[in-house]
Amino acid sequence: MKRKQVLAFLGGLLIALTGSVGCSTVAPVPASDQSTTLLIAAAASLQNALEDIDPIFEAANPGITVSYTFAASGPLQQQIEQGAPVDVFISAATKQMDALQTKDLILSETRRNLLTNQLVLVVPQNSRLQLTSFQQLTDPTIKKILVGEPRSVPAGQYAEELFSNLGILDQLRTKFVYGNSVRSVLGTVESGNADAGIVYATDAKSSNRVKSALTATATLHTPIVYPIAVIKASPNQQAARAYAQFLSSKQSHAIFEKYGFGIAP
């Protein structure tokens, strides 16, 4: 089934507006005469996994079609606050979901932590850097480090926490080049236009043009969790709940784990 990508639509809408329970089996939504289209706003790092899950969900729920918008969690949060017609939000950090919950924009009872991830340093596949610690990034021969913009990209926030806890953040700031999503960071490192970049382990695993050089110790940054919730203004709440529940099915878990995600407890 052809998947509909709606980033352009949501981007246009934003411009116009500005100026928990896991389960092993999931019951399908009863079929109806009218089809339902769900819009899922999800962190960019989830794209490959969710696109693999999509046809399985739609086959089990023939009355429901799923469309996606993938971007950094911060801009997605802002689009939802501006009234974008999102049914389900999956963030790469609790910060953005907390903001929506504070504004009473999600159904609190549907919120739960869905997945976990790890933070890694990647370098181009042909890089000759021999790194054994993050502190080596302060070496003057390393000139450009890609990180997500920390105010809107959770991976960038985690990166700053990591470097701050290691006591090297101030030494590295002049080397930082900021990406607008973790996928843009990955793409720049893949192209060879950066010495290194901070992404999720799942992003590194998805690419054969980068290699993981270092993995951050989990205690050096906020735990990486992906919360999910149904948006309160969704006109398709039954279908949205079914989709959110399906992501905790055995089929979905197997796909998430294939891409390197951990399943949140």
Annotated binding residue 108: no
Annotated binding residue 6: no
Annotated binding residue 243: no
Instruction: Collect all residues with Cβ–Cβ distance below 8 Å to 171 and sequence separation of at least 6.
Output: 138
Nearest to 30 by CA among 55, 64, 53: 64
Instruction: Find where tokens 């086959």 sit.
Output: 59
Phi, psi of 107 (to 5 degrees): -85, 105
Assign 56 to helix, strand or coil: helix
> Distances in Å between the alpha carbon of 12 and those of 15, 84, 89, 100?
5, 10, 19, 21
Instruction: Report d(CA 217, CA 190) in Å as an integer.
Output: 24
Instruction: Report d(CA 15, CA 79) in Å as an integer.
Output: 9
* DSSP conformation letters of 100-166: HHHTT-B-GGG-EEEEE--EEEEEETT-----SSGGGGGSTT---EEEE-TTT-HHHHHHHHHHHHT
Instruction: Report d(CA 94, CA 205) in Å as an integer.
Output: 23
Annotated binding residue 45: yes
Instruction: Collect all residues with Cβ–Cβ distance below 8 Å to 7 and sequence separation of at least 6.
Output: 69, 70, 71
Q: Both tokens of residue 114? A: 């869905």
Annotated binding residue 182: yes
Taking residue 1's Cβ as centre, other Cβ atoms within 10 Å add up to 9
**Binding site listing for molybdate:** 45, 73, 155, 182, 200
**Binding site listing:** 45, 73, 155, 182, 200
